[in-house]
Amino acid sequence: MFSEKLLTWFDKHQRSLPWRLSSPNPYYTWLSEIMLQQTTVATVIPYFHAFITKWPTLQDLALASLDDVLVAWQGLGYYSRARNLHKAAPLLVKRFPVTPAELVKFPGIGPYTAAAIASIAFNQKAAAVDGNVIRVLSRYFAIPTTNPITEVTNALTPCLPEGRYGDFTQSLMELGALICRPKAPACSLCPLQQDCKAHALQMVEDFPVKSPKIKLPTRYTRAFILRREDGALLLRKRPSKGLLGGMMEVPTTPWEDSPFESRGERIRHTFTHFHLEVDVCPGSDPSEFQGIWVHPKDLHTYPLPTLMKKILKATLALSEK
């Protein structure tokens, strides 16, 4: 009943999305699923269009350089996704597996993404459980635990409808995005309302049960702005592994746990696991750093993370005052 109601609703109300085709294209499914990790559909759509315009097929993407992929990814955040995309493309070109067990062995594909790709692109029987699905199911069954991945997977597996596995995965995602939203879910429009426990208890926003908030630590660094007479800025490439790996930056000192005295402009940026306070100051000796000189008008051709864009924006605004 659960899946029938959901699919009937989905057949009528699903959005038209650029990666949602009547005959699924595994490249589109994979690309969109990687982009959609941590990001909303509205943000992803222009990036998805840009990628498939630049690299219409998986073969094309497999031949792309990491720098080009990072530049196209700029602004989407969580850049390890772009690096994994670049790593996985040549492997997937050789053989695009169809089961979650095999897909999960590829860079950037976790259990959720593997199940989503297998079901959507290949109509394989798989329960794809992400934050959206956890929200819908933990409300529907009023599951009282925090982070109930196992409970939700167990509850979902018997509901998977024979032959329509891909539609089922997408219908749950769609319901989570359009109706069973985090705040103020539209229960009156929901096809599952009649049997939804949280709705019956009038406790919809109490599910999923939240874990206590963890206070993020703060780390500190100093960033050096070096400018040539013609206005060019010194940038260097970050090591390929680790946070913001392979992206460009103005030189910074190691990111440390203890604060230090400010010498310049303070900028604060928040990553998933910590805040970073950056003391942006003028640098004096370019020979201390290995880097390249980039004119401000050419900055958009380099992969710059949001943090660096913030630093450069503040710096360029100051220098124009």
Applying CB under 6 A, among 83, 86, 139, 219 the residue interacting with ligand SF4 is 139
# chain residues binding ligand SF4, by CB under 6 A: 14
- CB nearer to ligand SF4: give 12 or 321: 12
Strands 233-237 and 292-294: antiparallel
Binding test (CB under 6 A) with ligand SF4, winner from 127, 133, 204, 307: 204
Beta-carbon contacts of 46 under 8 Å, excluding residues fewer than 6 positions away, are: none
Catalytic residue among 4, 33, 102, 277: 33
Catalytic, 33? Answer: yes
Q: Can residue 173 be called a binding residue for ligand SF4 (CB under 6 A)?
A: no
**Which of 102-110, 119-127, 134-142, 156-164 is the region at the interface with ligand SF4 (rule: CB under 6 A)?**
134-142
Residue 251 Cβ, how far from ligand SF4 at the closest point, in Å? 49
User: Is 32 or 138 the residue whose CB approaches ligand SF4 more closely?
Assistant: 138
Q: Per rule CB under 6 A, is residue 159 in the interface with ligand SF4?
A: no
Cis peptide before 208 (omega within 30 of 0): yes
Question: Between vectors from CA 164 to CA 158 and to CA 168, what angle results, nearest 5°?
Answer: 65
Question: How far is Cα of residue 314 from the mean position of the Cα atoms in its chain?
Answer: 26
What's the rounded Cα separation, in Å, for the pair 170 and 26?
15
Residue 184: Cβ within 10 Å count: 8
Reported as type and span, the H/E element at residue 134 is helix 131-140
- 79 belongs to the binding site for ligand SF4 (CB under 6 A): no
What residues have CB less than 8 Å from 257, skipping those under 6 apart? Answer: 217, 219, 220
Q: Give, as ranges, the residues between 99 and 128 that touch ligand SF4 (CB under 6 A).
A: none
∠ CA 119-124-127 to the nearest 5 degrees?
60
CB 5 to ligand SF4: min, Å: 10
172 sits near ligand SF4 (criterion: CB under 6 A):
no
Does 88 participate in binding ligand SF4 (rule CB under 6 A)?
no
Among 81, 83, 164, 199, binds ligand SF4 (CB under 6 A): 199
CA distances to 3, 55, 138, 264 from 280, in Å: 55, 37, 45, 5
Cα distance between residue 94 and residue 84, in whole Å? 16
For position 190 contacting ligand SF4 by CB under 6 A, the verdict is: yes
Stretch that binds ligand SF4, among 195-203, 243-251, 257-265, 304-312 (CB under 6 A): 195-203
Residues that bind ligand SF4 (CB under 6 A): 136, 139-140, 179-180, 185, 187, 190, 192-193, 196, 198-199, 204
- Which residues form the catalytic set? 33
